[in-house]
Structure 1
Amino acid sequence: MVVELASLTVISVKAVSGMITFSVTDKTQLTYPIFYIMFIIMIASCVFQVKLLNQATKLYNTAAVVPVNHVFFTTSAIIAGIIFYQEFLGAAFLTVFIYLFGCFLSFLGVFLVTRNREKEHLPQSYIDFGNVPGKQMLDKIQPDSNGLSYGTLPDGSDSAKNPSGEKKEV
């Protein structure tokens, strides 16, 4: 999820910075609604990206979260730039190769720094989505504490029986 937000952040930051640059050098872009839409998207994606990274650091060690985020953020930024802004269009092969080789060296550095870290054992292996507003959590239903099990009624009769005590045909 953070990687998708990273791509969105890169696209919106590039759009906002391009509009500001164009406003300074030529015609103002601040009168167009797209500038404000992209500005809001930029701020919102940054805020949610930080929030998700904060949640990840609560579950995992920072030494594991930051390198993984760096590699995927860089990869998504490159792909977003290639797709939306055609950054490599008309670039020489050597320029593209040096750029990608620099990214590879960055990823190699992250790998070398983090490879000798010991694996941590998590006390909780999942994220609790119980606090998501509006989501029904039917799998979190617990049996009553008074000793009833599933399928029994408070009077002790089986729920598969009708009120007269005879078995229902299913």
Structure 2
Amino acid sequence: MTFLFSAVLAHFVLEEKLHIFGVLGCALCVVGSISIVLHAPQEKPIHSVKQVWQHATQPGFIVYTFLVLIVVAVLIFRYVPRYGHTHMVVYVGICSLMGSLTVMSVKAVGIALKLTFSEMNQFKYFETWVFVLVVTVCCVFQLNYLNKALDTFNTAIIAPVYYVMFTIFTILASVILFKDWESQNGAQIVTELCGFITILSGTFLLHKTKDMGNDASKDKDPPLVESPNHVDTPSNTDSHR
């Protein structure tokens, strides 16, 4: 619900108006998210950092990681200079793609901390420090481009779009890494896909109508200003008496 509160606070605190289609887009995102959460696959128990490393070094996740890095590089060097200030998907896409790698690494670091506090030191393994490095680098990228997105576009629109894209890529990365959907039946998968479609519909609506509030404000008639040329002057008819 973070994106919903962000949109509401941006509307009232920052005075970045959220029009009726923005409200509808947020509602669709909420409904889709609830559908996905209620039918999400059960997470497999992870007992060590080395177990996460084994999953992360499988061919499927390695391919996903390389694809993410390639797409992010293309977005940064090719599309940010051209479309960064006109298409919010460019900045948000960079944050979301890097965020999917961040979450996977944060999970490994969290497991390492938990086991270390239980007197099973995980920081003696180089795998733990690799995950720490990935978290640091990805967070720097996310903060940089998320701040650029918030400086350029309406916060009330960026919040839900970022939430949706971040969630989609994170779930995709988790599915590839841990293969969580292997234990699900067809009905659960179809329901989750419907939730994804609902979320994408809300995101599309938000993106297509992001400038509606600004256009409405521009169309307002400017205030009438009295012309300075029309100034009453006293008559000089009696000056030659």
Measured against the shorter chain, the TM-score band is 0.5 to 0.7
Contact 1:29 1:35 in 2 (8 A): yes
1:12 equivalent in structure 2? 105
Mean Cα displacement is larger for which, 27-36 or 13-22?
13-22
Alignment root-mean-square deviation, CA: 3.1
> Segments of 4+ in structure 1 off by > 6 A?
108-116
The one-letter amino acid paired with 1:44 is V
Whole-angstrom CA distance in 2 between matches of 1:87 and 1:118: 39
Whole-angstrom CA distance in 2 between matches of 1:103 and 1:23: 37
Please point out which of 63, 66, 70 is paired with 2:163: 70
Which has more helix, going by share of residues? 2
| TM-score, structure 1 as length reference | 0.55
Runs of 5+ consecutive residues of structure 1 not aligned to the other structure: 122-170
The one-letter amino acid paired with 1:15 is A
Contact 1:63 1:114 in 2 (8 A): no
Q: Secondary structure of 1:6's partner?
A: helix
Whole-angstrom CA distance in 2 between matches of 1:16 and 1:70: 23
Note closer, same or farther for the CA distance 1:114–1:3 as it changes in structure 2 (3 Å cut): closer
Contact 2:161 2:206 in 1 (8 A): no
Report the number of matched residues.
121
Note closer, same or farther for the CA distance 1:17–1:104 as it changes in structure 2 (3 Å cut): farther
Whole-angstrom CA distance in 2 between matches of 1:61 and 1:101: 28
Note closer, same or farther for the CA distance 1:60–1:113 as it changes in structure 2 (3 Å cut): closer
Whole-angstrom CA distance in 1 between matches of 2:150 and 2:97: 18
Q: Secondary structure of 2:122's partner?
A: coil
Residue identity over aligned pairs, in percent, reads: 28
Contact 2:112 2:122 in 1 (8 A): yes
